[in-house]
Amino acid sequence: MSVLIKGGRVVTATDDYVGDVFVDGGRISLLGEALDVTADTTIDASGKLVLPGLVDPHTHLDMPFGGTTTIDDVRSGHEAAAFGGTTCHVDFCIQGKGQTFADALADWHGKREGKALIDMGYHIAITDLSDPERLEELASLPEQGVTSYKLFMAYKGALMVDDETLFKSMEVAAASGALVMVHAENGDAIDVLVKQALAAGNTAPHFHALTRPPETEGEATNRAVQLARVAGCPLYVVHVSCKESVEPIALAREKGWDVWGETCTQYFFIDQTFLERPDFEGAKYVYTPPPRAKDNQDVLWNAVRTDVLSAISTDHCSFLWDGQKTLGRDDFSLIPNGGPGLENRLHMIHHLGVGQGRITLNRMVELLSTNPAKLFGLYPRKGTIAPGSDADLVIFDPSKRKTITVADQHSKADYNLYEGTEVTGDVETVLVRGTVVIDDAELKVEPGYGQFVARAKFGEELRPAALGV
């Protein structure tokens, strides 16, 4: 099965030209000006952008959390992702307390099987190293293509680990070739602040932000940076939301340390005043770290422009407002933390970033696709348009106007974080490994098409099989 995409503006992290892309056997085969080839299918992309499929390095599908389970499973999460131009993502596989990593991974494979529409890998989220055998098992995971370890420095009493567990995991990663990811907030201090707020009768959603001040994120970020330096492992700080955590990452990177950071779409758009919306609507914006004071948005744009932060993810962790978020109607600490976003990352970043002159198209591709692919062992199979790479491609109309609304989203969430936002630019056609997955606003593949991707170790390349290296 071959596909010829004709006359589009091909944009990667480094290139920008008008040309043709010829896809054969699921991979990109030829690139050129007016290619003289015949194909089973020809797609006219004139006037459109042809982008590498987006890679989302931070999602939570079908995840038990906050006394409930995220509403998007792999099936609905992938539909939302594909309609937003995401063709591959890395989801968090959570180790239950006392559970082996093998059992946790089996659970996550079970959630994927028969449901996947796009490709996916797993980070392992470590919650319990009390059995000494777990350290040995942890060291073996990169050989199975699970090449990143995630640790939560917050959510006391649930996912949070102590510094001993964090540091031991970092030491294992330094030897095994894994990248360590941290949710950086001081969970102990936050736990004290939450209890004090509730004792004073402060139960409304906006106390979620007031009990997680930016300094608690800055402190934990710096602690993780310093511990990673001692352990000698590479570090990736997830969902950076504020100046206090941008600063230690900037300093570490200035020194040439192996530290990277991501932020998420929502932090550019939603600020802490959203949490004050009446009639419990503020609960829609209860995610962690919380929406911050608006001046942090310029700090984050500067950070992604200057490569202090290297990726933009969604942290898609969707709950129904009616029935799940409402668990915390009388106590903000019981509102499940998380929000939907898989479907609108490209819409929002193209509109706010490229459309408003904050980042270039090349940088957008780097932040949404190439850098996540490189950092998480998927490059160059994913994250670029080059001969031999998987034909994961997005044909994007940069001038089409779209109003983002829950009414036509594909996530099962009953709200959209960006409701009513009018953006310029929309996804038209999406291919995963050369097969059209989305076209003409319709899903074109059956559940089960998506594959698990065994990722390369940190700093190594995932070579396209056909190149034989």
Quick one: CA dihedral 256, 260, 265, 267, positive or negative? negative
Instruction: Tell me the closest approach of the beta carbon of residue 70 to ligand URP, in angstroms.
Output: 8
Q: Which does 284 bind (CB under 5 to 8 A by kind): Zn ion, ligand URP, none?
A: none
Q: Which does 338 bind (CB under 5 to 8 A by kind): Zn ion, ligand URP, none?
A: ligand URP
Q: Which does 150 bind (CB under 5 to 8 A by kind): Zn ion, ligand URP, none?
A: none
Site for ligand URP in 160-189 (CB under 6 A): 183
Instruction: Tell me the closest approach of the beta carbon of residue 66 to ligand URP, in angstroms.
Output: 8
217 or 315: CB nearest Zn ion: 315
Q: Which does 287 bind (CB under 5 to 8 A by kind): ligand URP, Zn ion, none?
A: ligand URP
Is residue 147 involved in binding ligand URP (CB under 6 A)? Answer: no
52 or 339: CB nearest Zn ion: 339
319 or 396: CB nearest ligand URP: 319
Instruction: Tell me the closest approach of the beta carbon of residue 94 to ligand URP, in angstroms.
Output: 10
User: What angle, rounded to 10 degrees, do the helices at 163-176 and 214-231 form?
Assistant: 40
Instruction: Tell me the closest approach of the beta carbon of residue 449 to ligand URP, in angstroms.
Output: 27
Nearest CA to 438 out of 35, 53, 160, 38 is that of 53
Peptide bond into 289 cis (omega under 30): yes
Whether residue 235 contacts residue 182, with contact meaning beta carbons closer than 8 Å, is answered with yes
313 or 384: CB nearest ligand URP: 313
Instruction: Tell me the closest approach of the beta carbon of residue 317 to ligand URP, in angstroms.
Output: 4
90 or 453: CB nearest Zn ion: 90
* Residue 135 identity (one-letter amino acid): L
Size of residue set near ligand URP by CB under 6 A:
8
* 282 vs 271: CA distance, rounded Å: 11
Is residue 315 involved in binding ligand URP (CB under 6 A)? Answer: yes
Tokens representing 20 are 């043709």
| Residue 280-319 contact track with Zn ion, rule CB under 5 A, x = bound | -----------------------------------x----
* 28 vs 134: CA distance, rounded Å: 40
CA separation, residue 122 to residues 7, 101, 111, 168, 305 (Å): 36, 12, 12, 20, 28
Three-state secondary structure along 318-357?
A: CCCCCCCHHHHCCCHHHCCCCECCCCCHHHHHHHHHHCCC
Chain position whose Cβ is nearest to Zn ion: 183
333 or 429: CB nearest ligand URP: 333
Among 124, 317, 365, 453, interactor with ligand URP by CB under 6 A: 317
Phi/psi for 110 (5° steps) reads: -60, -35
| Residue 173-192 contact track with Zn ion, rule CB under 5 A, x = bound | ----------x---------
* Residue 219 identity (one-letter amino acid): E
Is residue 216 involved in binding ligand URP (CB under 6 A)? Answer: no
Beta bridge partners of 452: 120
For 394, other C-beta atoms within 10 Å of its C-beta total 27
Q: Which residues contact 151 (CB under 8 A, 6 or more apart)?
A: 125, 126, 161, 165, 166, 169, 180, 181, 182, 183
Degrees to nearest 5, angle at CA 333 with 264 and 323: 80
180 or 427: CB nearest ligand URP: 180
Burial environment of residue 398 by CB neighbours within 10 A (0 to 12, 13 to 18, 19 or more): middle
266 or 429: CB nearest ligand URP: 266
194 or 361: CB nearest ligand URP: 194
CA separation, residue 107 to residues 104, 110, 144, 235, 410 (Å): 5, 5, 15, 26, 24
Nearest CA to 51 out of 467, 436, 429, 450 is that of 429
Site for ligand URP in 54-73 (CB under 6 A): 60
Helix residue ranges, H only, 311-448: 345-349, 361-365, 371-375
Instruction: Tell me the closest approach of the beta carbon of residue 454 to ligand URP, in angstroms.
Output: 23
Instruction: Tell me the closest approach of the beta carbon of residue 338 to ligand URP, in angstroms.
Output: 3
Site for ligand URP in 332-371 (CB under 6 A): 337-338
Instruction: Tell me the closest approach of the beta carbon of residue 402 to Zn ion, in angstroms.
Output: 26
At which residue do the structure tokens 């503020």 appear?
282
Among 288, 297, 318, 429, interactor with ligand URP by CB under 6 A: 288
250 or 317: CB nearest ligand URP: 317
329 or 358: CB nearest ligand URP: 329
Q: Which does 208 bind (CB under 5 to 8 A by kind): ligand URP, Zn ion, none?
A: none
Binding site residues, ligand URP, CB under 6 A: 60, 183, 287-288, 315, 317, 337-338
Q: Which residues bind Zn ion (CB under 5 A)?
A: 183, 315
